Amino acid sequence: MSSSRIELGSEEHEKVREAGEILTQVREETADRVEVGTGHLEVAEYAEDRIRELGGEPAFPVNISIDEEAAHATPSADDDSTFGEELINIDIGVHVDGWLADTATTIDLAGHDELTEAPAEALEAAIDLVEPGVETGELGAAIEETIEGYGFNPVVNLSGHGLGHWDQHTEPSIPNRAVSQSTTLEAGDVVAIEPFATDGSGKVTEGGDEEIFALEHEGSVRDRGAREALEQITEEFRTLPFAARWLDSSRPGMALRRLKMQGLVHGYPVLKEDDDRLVSQKEHTVIVTEDGCEVTTRD
């Protein structure tokens, strides 16, 4: 049994739904604020603050990925970047008592209508198939066929995933292409399905920038600043990803470097398309029910 599976109708199920309701509202409000000249940091902080106002907590830092970026990009505390005529992916997560919802959308400020539509249509094709007994590879095949029908490639080394308790990525994995070996969906599974489409080769690699981190394991550290940062991480974020700008430390960069050196935290490098080509994304959180599924992040 995967750690993302819960009993339908349970209190946990209700918290997953509540997280989804908050996230749906925040995604739409945030997308409305993305326009040429608006700051990345302003948008990210708006979304994270709004989540808290509505009774949830951010499950991870708001990802703002531009053009060839696919994931793990979030503003630093002093980021002064503003949006231009670009393709912008906004990925947001919410948790309620550790029960998660995850969603993403592409905002097109550069006239790439079909590239924006491709992952959205692929997502709907996959959702239409979700029910107990379906292989995740079937969802991947539907995603791949839809995106290729638009003349683009799916990003094959990124995938959807289960959502567990205080765990952003659990089994089952939801591939973005047809695969020969996959997992059978069962009632109670909570999954994030997230097709990525690109006009490039269909693979991403790690860049050098890191602004998102997560706890690897608890331990002791002698440096006072690093120790205080570790205390905040373990108490406030637990095992969920956090932004360097969320730390109360006066020198978060130094604290994180020390924690990384001791193997207590790990970073998430920004993922970029191999050919520096454009990437678009669409994502919903889905609960597998006895007779189909419930999309918790749909308008």
- On whether 72 is known to bind a ligand per the annotation, the reply is yes
Mean pLDDT of the chain: 95
pLDDT tens-digit readout, 118-133: 999 999 999 999 999 9
Q: What angle do CA 103, 105, 293 make, to 5 degrees?
A: 45
pLDDT value at residue 13:
84
Question: Is-same-fold flag (11-207+270-295; 208-269)?
Answer: no
pLDDT number for residue 52: 98
- End-to-end alpha carbon distance in the chain: 30
pLDDT band, very low/low/confident/very high, at 165 (cuts 50, 70, 90)? very high
Is 194 labelled a binding residue? yes
What is the rounded average pLDDT of the residues 287-297?
96
Q: pLDDT, tens digit, for every residue of 249-264?
A: 989 999 999 999 999 9
Q: How far apart are CA 34 and CA 96, in angstroms?
A: 26
> Does residue 145 carry a catalytic annotation?
no
> Per the residue annotation, which of 69, 194, 199, 211 is the catalytic one?
194
Catalytic, 231? Answer no
To the nearest whole percent, how much of the chain has pLDDT over 90?
A: 91
Q: Domain limits of the chain?
A: 11-207+270-295, 208-269
pLDDT given at position 2? 44
Task: For residues 34 and 38, give the distance between their C-alpha atoms in angstroms, rounded to a whole number.
Answer: 6
CATH 1.10.10.10 fits 208-269, yes or no: yes
> Virtual CA dihedral for 35, 38, 39, 40, nearest 10 degrees?
-10
Catalytic residue chosen out of the listed positions 12, 138, 273, 283: 283
Q: How many CA atoms lie within 13 A of 86 on its CB side?
A: 21
Is 283 among the catalytic positions?
Answer: yes
Residue 13 a catalytic site member: no
- 18, 48, 69, 102: the catalytic one is 102
Task: CATH number for 11-207+270-295: choose from 3.40.50.620, 3.30.200.20, 3.90.230.10, 3.30.450.20.
Answer: 3.90.230.10
Residue 169 annotated among the catalytic residues of the structure? yes
Grade residue 8 by pLDDT with cuts at 50, 70 and 90.
low
Residue 102 assigned to a binding site? yes
Which of these is catalytic: 112, 169, 171, 294? 169
Q: What is the pTM of this model?
A: 0.94
Tell me which of 57, 68, 69, 91 is the catalytic residue. Answer: 91
Q: What is the pLDDT of residue 209?
A: 87
pLDDT band at 299 (very low <50, low <70, confident <90, very high): confident
Say yes or no to pLDDT of 201 above 90. yes
291 is annotated as an active-site residue: no
